Amino acid sequence: MVTAEETGNTMSKLWVRVRLGYVALRSGNLAEAHQLFRETAQGFAKDGYTIGALFALEGMAGLYVAVGKPAHTARLIGWADAMRVKLNDPRPNIEQADVDKLMAACLAKMGEGAFSDLYDEGQKMTLAEALVFALEGS
């Protein structure tokens, strides 16, 4: 982080901060995770770096499970899956395992039918719509 700040490398700084968001989420510091995901999603989107915004919003989907908003998670995961196909950037296995856990938590809370409907709705969102949805719901 220090090197990124010293050199003015905004992209490196965003990547460090989004990863810190995941650490905060796993540590149970939901307010910090929320702030980091929000900041980095907006920063990546502003710079036109879709995969970075996608990674931040996948983190936000995890945050929504933690705060009891599985409907938000379902939509964001649907959007992220569609974007990964569009970008031809499959999720790494270790990240997929985390997303599978998020999906299982949603299915347990809302059932397959409701999850599937919301997931499908999410797949239709644009990046701009996903950002607005994710950030308004928090």
Long-range pairs for 94-100 at CB < 8 Å and ≥24 separation?
95/58, 98/62, 99/58, 99/61
Q: Tell me how many domains the chain contains.
A: 1
Q: Closest Cα to residue 112, out of 103, 125, 121? A: 103
Which strand (E) or helix (H) includes residue 126? none
State the pTM of this model. Answer: 0.90
Domain coverage including residue 95:
2-136
Give me the CATH number covering residue 121: 1.25.40
pLDDT values of the chain reduced to their tens digit, one per residue, 138 residues: 556 666 665 888 999 999 999 999 999 999 999 999 999 999 999 999 999 999 999 999 999 999 999 999 999 999 999 999 999 999 999 999 999 999 999 999 999 999 999 999 999 999 999 999 999 866
DSSP codes of every residue in 48-86:
T-HHHHHHHHHHHHHHHHHTT-HHHHHHHHHHHHHHHHH
